Amino acid sequence: MRGRSPTRRGAHPVVRGVVALVAGCAAALAAAPASAGGGVIGTPQPELAPFHVVLSGGGSGSGAVLPNGDLVIATPITTGKAISVCLLVPGGRSCAATAMLRAFRSGAAQDTFYGSVQVIATRGDRVSIVALDCCTIGPDGAVLFNSTNGGRTWGPMTRAGDIASIGAATLAAGNIVVGSFQQQGLQVQAFSPQPSIPQTSYAVPIAACVTTPTLPECQDGDTALATYNGGVLVASDDTVTTHVEFAPSGSGLNTSASYARVATFPHELVVAASRNALLTDPNGSITGGELLRFFNGNAFGPAHRVPDSKAGDDGYFAMQKTGSTVHVFFLSRRARYTVYQETTSDGVHWSPLTPYASAVASTSLVPVLGPLGTGVLDETAGTPVNAQPVLDAQSVHVAFAPARIRAGRASVLHGSASPPMAQTTVLQRLVGGAWLPVSSTREDVSTGAFSFTVRTPGTYRAVVNQHPGYFAYGYSSPATLSAAP
């Protein structure tokens, strides 16, 4: 998945990656409170506040979620001479490990990394970072850095291929597949995560461009890659029209003839692709109206307009699909640069907008989400990078039976939490305007049910502790136990 290049939509490009929010001033802003179960506003929801990631963000970065839930985020530094890497554990608010991966150097002369930096989880604890080392001293092509321990340490630079630029990447059939961007002629190249020699073959997916690379449609603007049923979807725009090619599973990904045209969308620009979902921007608009389509293996279905804020101002969209759910994020300039998330499984039915912290200085929204749709939203062009946790909600409901008691008697507060996770539930009582802890228990692992015996009249609520990095706190509505005359 990739976002819009810096030449599109004014001064704030959308680039591919995890989702980070604003570096700098946004760090001082608290996250917008999230509605908890029962309609009570969490006071506070500290795990939803954005936090700094110690990275020097100087360009288009990305991230990946490993099978154990850890997140690896990488971005080029401001000078482009190195890639800054951060390992985040679920629920963590700082890097558990960092690395600085440097471009090729010979004496006092040093290469730089050009284009985007792509993070690809390949298998188990193995993760690769692919970038283009440029321009005159060293490899001058696609290079890899590999980690075999989940991003805690990294091996040396390895030459991988000779593609002209890197704007997007995906993993298909065990190979890392990269696509070019912003050049004359789209290229796609696949190579092993552990290449013995650099790959020198590449595909030109747009058939007409094999023989006539000067055609207008051969101007490669933005590019997005996605893996679908083992094959590779390639979406690129020529700054006016989006063209989509597909190479099915088992085809030679470095062979031009493997790719066939499956869609053409005039007056639309590529925003992102993820699995079988494609997000485009009509006419390079800065007032929203992004279009979402789904690929079925042969063609795309109808376009669905992505809802945005009531203010009607876009902006700067990013998208990732996890399971059957498409997660769309956008920045609304007219709504104080608030970042919003919304989800859909079919493009027709959408979740309500979920607001996050303001990202007034953001230049790139990059979602890095795991299978459950949780993770972080990163901004990879600032120093330091700011990360916005993206968590699932928990619903909590309680009721007293009976709701009135005589002196010396007791009532039972019955409750349930969804989804059930056999976690700790805390009973709180409202005293002098503050919620104070009274007792705790464990909810039932299969039903989420819990109960408390209460002898003192008052107003109570139940709070379910979050599973770090996956769920926000869940708050019930208040329940009042009265004293009978």
Q: Which domain holds residue 267?
A: 20-390
**Domain of residue 432, CATH code:** 2.60.40.10
Taking residues 190-218, what's their average pLDDT? 92
| Shared domain check, 360 and 290 | yes
Nearest C-alpha neighbor of 183 from the set 169, 200, 163, 199? 163
Q: Is residue 13 part of a domain?
A: no
Residues 386 and 399 in one domain: no
Position 90 in a domain: yes
Q: Which of 367, 390, 413 is the last residue of a domain?
A: 390
pLDDT at 191 over 90: yes
Give the count of alpha carbons within 13 A of 354, CB side only: 21
- 344 pairs with which residues across the strands? 326, 350
The reply to whether 361 and 406 lie within a common domain is no
Residue 12 lies in a domain: no
Are residue 329 and residue 409 in the same domain, yes or no? Answer: no
367-393 tens-digit pLDDT: 999 999 999 998 666 667 788 999 998
| Region 176-199 average pLDDT | 93
372 and 424 within one domain: no
CATH number at residue 305: 2.130.10.10
Phi/psi-derived region of residue 143, left when phi > 0, alpha when psi is between -120 and 50, beta in every other case: beta
Domain boundary among 335, 365, 390: 390
Tell whether the model's pLDDT for residue 277 goes beyond 50. yes
Rounded Cα–Cα distance for residues 298 and 320 (Å)? 21
Residue 14 lies in a domain: no
Q: 316 and 439 share a domain?
A: no
> Same domain for 310 and 361?
yes
8 is a domain residue: no
Instruction: Pick the closest to residue 450 from 478, 477, 426 (CA basis).
Output: 426
| Same domain (yes/no): 347, 382 | yes
Domain presence at residue 42: yes
- Our count of domains for the chain comes to 2
CA–CA distance, 175 with 322 (Å, rounded to integer): 20
Same domain (yes/no): 372, 408: no
Are 461 and 381 contacting, i.e. CB atoms less than 8 angstroms apart? Answer: no
Contact 6, 331 (CB under 8 A): no
Q: pLDDT tens digits for 390-437?
A: 999 889 999 999 999 999 999 999 999 999 988 889 999 999 888 899
- pLDDT score at 22: 30
- Is the domain of 384 the same as that of 409? no
pLDDT tens for 114-161 read: 889 999 999 999 999 999 999 877 778 999 999 999 999 999 999 999
Q: Give the rounded distance of the alpha carbon of 433 from its chain centre.
A: 38
Domain assignment of residue 273, yes or no: yes
pLDDT tens for each residue of 26-76 = 222 233 333 333 333 345 577 888 888 877 666 788 999 999 999 999 999
What is the average pLDDT score of the chain?
86
Residue 4 lies in a domain: no
One domain for residues 346 and 414? no
Q: Using an 8 Å Cβ cutoff, are 115 and 133 in contact?
A: no
More confident residue, 287 or 193: 193
